[in-house]
Structure 1
């Protein structure tokens, strides 16, 4: 037990918990309102044709819907020269295998997209044991148009566009989510994107850690403790070798 933490009676705990519940309910209702505002964003029609390399052959963005009307894409950090995926992106992706089936039965397709060539993606996917759809945008403008891959010129300028603003991204790949809708005519619309810490809502491990006494217990960022799930027990050398975090 942490000797610095206050110890109280059961009644004190109950009184404090009731007061906290009021704030938690307000936080929940605020989250519901944010979700409504997300759904109310204007949609942008996708007029450009994007091609992706998949284990089933080349597909367009429209093909990735697989007969459903909604599509969530996770922009996974794995560049053309990388030999493995980002630790943080892998951490998030570990949460997806059991969820995709439920999404698909609620008219939502889920696809992970990386800039790396398909052969590297498939090798890393096999190593990690993941079964969700994962495709390559190599040779396409998709990653650049949705602001998760950056040219050498953009990196040199220290003013690449990421998370809705110009900034020094520091690395050629970043992460995020983008959401799309396909109507009855087959037209595709971009409806939502989030980047940076906006991705945290998709990491259920954090929801569990946030109710524990020690919380996330991170000195600086998630790579203080997160590894690829097949590397727990190995000595940590100070960060993600792939993404530099």
Structure 2
């Protein structure tokens, strides 16, 4: 289906674009202010000693910082019995290629965490070709304490906290980001978390789609069209290469 649009002269398009630019700048400045407020949130000391299975052996949350003072955790939906990761989480994780190096050189470590056993995580990680750190919280309360995994009792009662709201979460695994800080004494603090559509800021594909005529072109959400990247068929690309092949 062709996108709905009006027609204009080059001069009319330029004038309309200048008006839109003013709104885009206001939106950007509002985002800067939100980022400032995000950094100003109070911190919560992490008293629990969480353990994770990593390819380098068992590590605590403090050890996942890797000598840096800041840590971003992505809560990836891959439960203990899953054979592969969530499609949406995989879509987001595809965007981490090349980014981790820059984060690490800016005093930020990045790690993905799932409840699946490390052996299953490693099989899927290698299949996807990802190189970022991915560890297992199997046997830990970490996912439950940060409200991305849910007990059978919570599912049965249809009452669990997700995205800062008590709701019927529907399934036992959800996604999100949590951010931590470690001070000079080794004390770890939880500084920020986001869930649901809050994760969209980390999906650069959406930033590109949002400037195209058809936009995201989703009937409901990304599962309308996103697949694991090794399951796309060439014909779904909708045309030849950009160079005309």
Q: TM-score, normalised by structure 1?
A: 0.94
5+ residue gaps, structure 1, are 237-245
Q: CA deviation at 1:53?
A: 0.2
- 1:90 maps to 90
Q: Across the two proteins, how many residue pairs are aligned to each other?
A: 236
Are the aligned partners of 2:97 and 2:130 in contact in 1 as well (CA < 8 Å)?
yes
- 1:138 maps to 138
Whole-angstrom distance in 1 between the partners of 2:99 and 2:125:
17
- 2:72 maps to 72
Residues 1:25 and 2:25 aligned together = yes
Structure 2 matches for 1:117-128, cutoff 5 A?
117-128=117-128
Q: CA deviation at 1:233?
A: 1.6
Q: CA deviation at 1:59?
A: 0.1
Deviations 1:183-224 (A, max 9, x none): 000000000000000000000000000000000000111011
1:95 match: secondary structure: helix
Q: TM-score, normalised by structure 2?
A: 0.94
Whole-angstrom distance in 2 between the partners of 1:119 and 1:138:
11
Q: CA deviation at 1:96?
A: 0.3
5+ residue gaps, structure 2, are 237-245
- 1:197 maps to 197
Are the aligned partners of 2:180 and 2:192 in contact in 1 as well (CA < 8 Å)?
yes
Whole-angstrom distance in 2 between the partners of 1:194 and 1:235:
36
Q: CA deviation at 1:97?
A: 1.8
- 2:160 maps to 160
Residues 1:173 and 2:183 aligned together = no
1:177 match: secondary structure: strand
Runs of 4+ in 1 over 6 A off after TM superposition: none
Q: CA deviation at 1:5?
A: 1.8
Whole-angstrom distance in 1 between the partners of 2:4 and 2:151:
49
- Provide closer, same or farther for how the CA distance between residues 65 and 25 of structure 1 changes in structure 2, counting only shifts above 3 A: same
- 2:62 maps to 62
